[in-house]
Chains A and B, each alone.
Chain A
């Protein structure tokens, strides 16, 4: 076996308060797919950003084909043949695919004019070679997510990358698109490219990887191959203790109807249809999980139900009230709690002290307001109680929300929404990007709300979370609920097919 294409030795990186990478050694051989597995916050992205030159390591060296290299910025990385496909695409939405690709290394015609034609020809050649068809003239923001990712990959190849780093590529794809990606990965490795595949999804690792390394808390905790290990063992290495995959909960006892949605139609920000005739019901004391890949209309559905987005068709009944065109305040006052998908945009005012964020929806009601006057003491005591009850790690109640960790910020939102006596709880991506401890805490609270008779509508892209918490699971695909299945009998494969829009009957394999 010749020299490894890429070797890193003793890579260490400290951020204020956390040791992101702790003396990591790693090797990547030519034509190999190395899967890098690890929890959110385990240091995967930090390591890759160091290799790609976005961050500079505090200690350690990087070797390309046996030769040590200094990578201070992405330009050095590109010169060493390293290319990175980011989780949030590094494409400029308003520019065309061709413009995005030639950004930074433009072909020039006549001293200073861009040579767009030549670039387009080169892109078409590359996409044929690796089976990545995408229209170079299209503007990026008009392309579907899958096509944008293909454009990102071509962008890396266009720069002559030998080593490709794919950072959580399947997070935004349907299972089918994921399979197409795996085919592309195989064709790339056959043509001599080497790939580092970052993910926290166990199933993918088993299917695509030649070798697997696992990171936890910034340290390399193990190297293995799919053949030598099992998903349970990988999960254990990832989390370092027995993962409570299954939340203990008794079977649900659905009560009276709380939310009834008939043939709901909603448009997205660019006036295209996002929700095309959704019909669903949620009863008291029941968790209805809405599974589906991001971008299939979940965000618009949730915003429509909570009054944040105009409804263009259909009807919404909440506890007997017609809330189809209700304003957000009306929906809240009827008795709805809403854990928003984007906690920084909707959930919190980051500049506010924690105590003000905790009364964001109820500031105008007693005890917080009496005869047109805010009661600072009442707001403060309410905050102190909630901070204890929901174990929010904050120095004081006056500390701005911006200085809390992601998990604690989410707990502030949960504390605010769960402490109000509500009949309906809508939770969108409640545990995205937060530490494991907080995830378990929030899941327990959701189940507690359900057992207390609250109707819960859970929208999440994490299939495991949906399967763990839901009593019934509705799968949404291109703005329609194509099927609703009881949670106990649902299997991952079945849900995977549904999420890709393939009905049980048609599958018939």
Chain B
């Protein structure tokens, strides 16, 4: 039955599903804004998930586990920087090496440490409910009733946005990624900046890893844990034009399509109608927001943002359709219900990539002479 309870449950699960994607995307943003391409996010997440889990089990405290995960991420980030800067390894190959080593090391030591001594997890981080705010009808449970790392993600998105665009460190990072020579001539140590930023990026991936084992699952499963989230995070970063807030919005869209796949499988809802309504809602809100920003942006030009308004109206029609016309019951096989996030990625990347702009000096080693 499509009631408020259904939507709150769906939208709050979407935020949970979006969390590792946003953290992964921010890891990519930090590394690439300073000029280092990082496709090893998947491996960093896996390694930190493993180390974090061990940290939590041996210290018997989840928070120590999270810390260990974040530090492992930092070490992996520094390793990528060392490979790219000092040893001039092609950064895409460096990322692949990190992914391969991560799978090998975590699987190998998982058997040795976890299985042989049959360690078992110590549960997951508790759900925190912010007293007053969580009682707001729909928005409350979604935004204010979550586990800690999800809250940290939301906070970090805004912290990174402000840091990148409003602080000296952010200005220097962007300069180093766009035109390293210019940064060098004003006395900024380009490679030191890149080491710092890539290590910070590694920490973000570390937090994403800690989320997987210490907040979402509670145990470590070798090999399949991250199953591709590192790469979807890359797609989120690219289509978000290397901006944290865009990354949050796009990752949330993924989250909704992913959660929808799980939810529709329970079968007690008219699948087609739900798909129509949720997609319609997305287009309605997205179109409206986009139109607003476009309109505010160019106050002087009185060009009405036609396309965005059309999008919003189309969304409205889709939302109301199930109430008006009878939508037939369907029984879509659950394998297909899992497809939307992947198809969505291709559409977004193909559609948006035309007008996204990567940091100019990305992937190139900076030589003094």
| A90 at the binding interface (Cβ < 8 Å) | yes
Inter-chain contacts of A102 with B (CB < 8 A): 171
CB <8 Å contact, A78 and B187: yes
CB <8 Å contact, A103 and B186: yes
CB within 8 A of A92: which of B166, B169, B182, B187? Answer: B182
Inter-chain contacts of A92 with B (CB < 8 A): 174-175, 178-179, 182-183
| B167 at the binding interface (Cβ < 8 Å) | yes
Query: Could you tell me the distance in whole angstroms from the C-beta of B177 to the nearest C-beta in chain A?
Result: 9
Segment touching B, from A106-114, A261-269, A334-342, A448-456: A106-114
CB contact list, B177-219 vs A, under 8 A: 178-179, 181-188
CB contact list, B39-62 vs A, under 8 A: none
Among A75, A92, A94, the one with the most B-chain Cβ atoms within 10 Å of its Cβ is: A92
| A239 at the binding interface (Cβ < 8 Å) | no
Number of interface residues of A (CB under 8 A): 29
Query: Could you tell me the distance in whole angstroms from the C-beta of B298 to the nearest C-beta in chain A?
Result: 15
Is the contact region of chain A dominated by helix, strand, or loop, or is it mixed? loop
Look across to chain B and name the residue whose beta carbon is closest to the beta carbon of A108. B168
Among A74, A78, A95, A104, the one with the most B-chain Cβ atoms within 10 Å of its Cβ is: A104
- With the chains together, A114 CA to B170 CA distance in Å? 10
CB contact list, B96-144 vs A, under 8 A: none
CB <8 Å contact, A103 and B184: no
CB <8 Å contact, B178 and A90: no
CB contact list, A343-399 vs B, under 8 A: none
Among A74, A102, A159, the one with the most B-chain Cβ atoms within 10 Å of its Cβ is: A74
CB <8 Å contact, B172 and A93: no
CB <8 Å contact, B187 and A90: no
CB <8 Å contact, B174 and A104: no
Inter-chain contacts of A54 with B (CB < 8 A): 184-185, 368
| A91 at the binding interface (Cβ < 8 Å) | yes
Inter-chain contacts of A95 with B (CB < 8 A): 171, 174-175, 178
| B369 at the binding interface (Cβ < 8 Å) | yes
Inter-chain contacts of A94 with B (CB < 8 A): 174, 178, 357, 360
Query: Could you tell me the distance in whole angstroms from the C-beta of A257 to the nearest C-beta in chain B?
Result: 40
- With the chains together, A419 CA to B230 CA distance in Å? 52
CB <8 Å contact, B167 and A90: no
Look across to chain B and name the residue whose beta carbon is closest to the beta carbon of A55. B369
CB contact list, A439-493 vs B, under 8 A: none
CB within 8 A of B187: which of A55, A93, A104? Answer: A104
| Count class of interface residues, chain B | 20 to 34
Query: Could you tell me the distance in whole angstroms from the C-beta of A115 to the nearest C-beta in chain B?
Result: 10
Query: Could you tell me the distance in whole angstroms from the C-beta of B299 to the nearest C-beta in chain A?
Result: 16
Inter-chain contacts of A89 with B (CB < 8 A): 182
CB within 8 A of B185: which of A84, A112, A114? Answer: A84
- With the chains together, A492 CA to B104 CA distance in Å? 70
CB <8 Å contact, A103 and B172: yes
CB <8 Å contact, A114 and B166: yes
- With the chains together, A112 CA to B165 CA distance in Å? 12
Query: Could you tell me the distance in whole angstroms from the C-beta of A341 to the nearest C-beta in chain B?
Result: 20
Inter-chain contacts of B168 with A (CB < 8 A): 106, 108, 112, 114
Look across to chain A and name the residue whose beta carbon is closest to the beta carbon of B163. A112
Inter-chain contacts of A402 with B (CB < 8 A): none
Query: Could you tell me the distance in whole angstroms from the C-beta of A176 to the nearest C-beta in chain B?
Result: 27
- With the chains together, A480 CA to B357 CA distance in Å? 31
CB <8 Å contact, B179 and A93: yes
Among B167, B169, B171, the one with the most A-chain Cβ atoms within 10 Å of its Cβ is: B171
CB <8 Å contact, B187 and A99: no
Query: Could you tell me the distance in whole angstroms from the C-beta of B73 to the nearest C-beta in chain A?
Result: 23
| A225 at the binding interface (Cβ < 8 Å) | no
CB within 8 A of A104: which of B166, B181, B188, B360? Answer: B188
- With the chains together, A104 CA to B174 CA distance in Å? 12
- With the chains together, A496 CA to B179 CA distance in Å? 33
CB within 8 A of A106: which of B171, B181, B368? Answer: B171
Look across to chain A and name the residue whose beta carbon is closest to the beta carbon of B183. A103
Report if A90-B172 is in contact (Cβ < 8 Å); known contacts: A74-B187, A75-B187, A112-B167.
no
17 further A-B pairs in the complex, CB-CB below 8 A; given A95-B171, A102-B171:
A54-B368, A74-B184, A74-B186, A74-B187, A89-B182, A90-B185, A92-B174, A92-B175, A92-B178, A92-B182, A100-B182, A103-B182, A104-B187, A104-B188, A112-B168, A114-B167, A159-B186
Pick the 7 closest A-B CB pairs, nearest first. Answer: A104-B186, A75-B187, A106-B168, A90-B182, A92-B179, A90-B185, A92-B178
Q: What are 22 A-B interface contacts by the 8 Å CB criterion? A: A54-B368, A73-B187, A74-B184, A74-B187, A89-B182, A90-B181, A91-B182, A92-B175, A92-B179, A92-B183, A95-B171, A95-B175, A99-B171, A102-B171, A103-B171, A103-B172, A104-B172, A104-B187, A106-B171, A112-B167, A114-B167, A114-B171
